[in-house]
Amino acid sequence: MTTPPPSADWLARWRETNSDIARLSFTHRMADAVIDEQRGRDIRIGDQWLADFASCNYLGFDLDQEILDAIPEYLAKWGSHPSWSRIIASPVLYEQIEEQLAELCGTEDALTLPTITHIHFSVLPVLAAGGTVFLDSRSHKTLFDGATAAKATGADVKTIGHNNLDRLQARLEAGDWKRPGVIALDGVNSMTGNLPDLVEYARLAREHDAILYVDDAHGFGVIGERDPDELSPYGTRGNAIVRHLGESYDNVVLIGALSKAYSSLMAFLAVPTELKTLLKSTAPPYVYSGPSPVASLATVLEGLRVNRERGDEIRKVLHDRTKRILDTIDELSLDAVNDSGLPIIQVPLADPDRVSEVGDMLFERGLYVTMCPYPIVPRREAGFRIQVTAANGEEHIDRLVSALHELQDLFRRRDDPQALAHPKRFARTTPRRPTDRARSRVIPPR
Ligand SMILES: Cc1ncc(COP(=O)(O)O)c(C=O)c1O
């Protein structure tokens, strides 16, 4: 028996009051897909096999046989799910993960919670403590939600234009804000793949005795500390943006995802032990929420081991595959949002209204990417986003490169007057603001 559709009246009323959201309903096959089957990074939707370029499993740990083989032993020991809330009890696996994360990131301690959403919602209000959150305008939606939660507990929220350090400095210097202050922003930006000028943000935070709260969901596992012997410009160890840029953790709280590069339902904060202890009683998810499943705990621990043993080699593969795509974009003189060389590549369309059509064309060519229509992204960036993982084979890159060639007239070119105003990838040779520290880009300027 099928359920009858609901009476149309309330839905029609909802549609009227939410016309902007209703407009977002997807008209192409490149969203909200049901995957019928998966073989490596190939997915089948209906009868179409596609190369998946929409996954955030950057290191391919979701498919790594060594990691997969290790999981059953953890399940045998711990069952499928520890359903204590963390404040009641946690398997020792948590202690091991937190110790290893702290060691990897170079912080005194680390605290894990199931998701970054939980972290922002619960930790931002604690850190803001009724003071002021200075929020970068292109922060991830969950950071906005966290700021809203901070507001509900008495904090002011001041949104600052994306990467607008001058504006942030002016607001901080005006001094007319409630303390304590938290400056919140993405590390590697989830939409653009670019890095903020974290060195300068950290300097401002320290100068004004504020906390710099950095969500590096996409940087953790991908970029890390620089080393003269590094195998790729992503650096070594994948220990995230703060270490990548050679910054210290003074006044800095780093948030990392394990749900992206580490393919697990888990996230963490790299923090001093004193703050971790405080958060155990003040961050509601530690007290009230369920924990991550054992398979995720196992994947994180095994992933950390694989990262130590061959993480840099995996990152080299990731870098090389990404570079082939970015080189094609350069060769074709296409406009692109990414100026970092990282595996999040947003390609704007010449006509921002053709997102659905282009989605269908890519689908037909066996490519699954993330479509980015306006208003999810600014209109001048409307197009699609390619996310590369180390598990995307050369054949996937070949297929993508030939689609970029074939469909190039649909994409915006660099010489188009509408082309993005920011300096192009590799081209920023001088810092935007004077600083006495050398700016360490993911990929040094050519
Ligand atoms: C920058 C950023 N922060 C937070 C999140 C949300 O992470 P979680 O799924 O752990 O809540 C995402 C997810 O895509 C993200 O890209």
* CATH code assigned at 87: 3.40.640.10
Residues 247 and 323 in one domain: no
* CATH code assigned at 365: 3.90.1150.10
Amino acid at 47: D
Cβ-contact 236, 312 below 8 angstroms = yes
For residues 207 and 164, give the distance between their C-alpha atoms in angstroms, rounded to a whole number: 17
| Distance (Å) from CA 260 to ligand 1 centroid | 8
Residues 284 and 325 in one domain: no
70 is a domain residue: yes
Cβ-contact 222, 58 below 8 angstroms = yes
Residues 47 and 175 in one domain: no
3-state secondary structure of 385: strand
220 is a domain residue: yes
| Distance (Å) from CA 405 to ligand 1 centroid | 32
Structural domain that includes position 377: 29-62+311-410
Q: Tell me which residues have their CB closer than 6 angstroms to ligand 1.
A: 115-117, 140, 142, 186, 190, 215, 217-218, 257, 259, 267
213 is a domain residue: yes
Residues 336 and 228 in one domain: no
Q: Which residues contact 444 (CB under 8 A, 6 or more apart)?
A: 233
Q: In Å, what is the CA distance from 112 to each residue of 98, 101, 119, 262, 381?
A: 7, 9, 9, 13, 34
Q: Which of 308, 339, 371 is the last residue of a domain?
A: 308
Supply 405's token pair.
């060639």
Residues 290 and 346 in one domain: no
Residues 58 and 125 in one domain: no
For residues 343 and 366, give the distance between their C-alpha atoms in angstroms, rounded to a whole number: 19
Q: What are the φ/ψ torsions at residue 268 (nearest 5 degrees)?
A: -145, 160
Residues 317 and 241 in one domain: no
Residues 331 and 228 in one domain: no
Q: What pLDDT does 31 receive? A: 84
Peptide bond preceding 293: is omega within 30 degrees of 0, i.e. cis? no
Phi-psi region for residue 330, left (φ > 0), alpha (ψ -120 to 50) or beta? alpha
72 is a domain residue: yes
Residues 292 and 348 in one domain: no
Q: What pLDDT does 418 receive? A: 80
205 is a domain residue: yes
Residues 298 and 327 in one domain: no
Domain count, the chain: 2
Q: What pLDDT does 4 receive? A: 73
Residues 175 and 300 in one domain: yes
Residues 69 and 56 in one domain: no
Q: Which of 292, 308, 324 is the last residue of a domain?
A: 308
The pLDDT tens digits for 347-359 are 999 999 999 999 9
428 is a domain residue: no
Residues of the chain whose pLDDT is less than 70?
Answer: 1, 6, 20-28, 421-446
Cβ-contact 238, 226 below 8 angstroms = no
For residues 355 and 28, give the distance between their C-alpha atoms in angstroms, rounded to a whole number: 9
Q: What pLDDT does 30 receive? A: 83
Q: Which of 308, 326, 361 is the last residue of a domain?
A: 308
73 is a domain residue: yes
Strand order in the sheet with 367-368: 37-39, 42-45, 48-52, 367-368
| Distance (Å) from CA 217 to ligand 1 centroid | 6
3-state secondary structure of 353: helix
Q: Which of 111, 121, 190 to mutate to test the pocket of ligand 1 (most atoms within 8 A of CB)?
A: 190
Q: Which of 113, 140, 191 to mutate to test the pocket of ligand 1 (most atoms within 8 A of CB)?
A: 140
Burial status of residue 235 (CB atoms within 10 A of its CB: 0-12, 13-18, 19 or more): buried
406 is a domain residue: yes
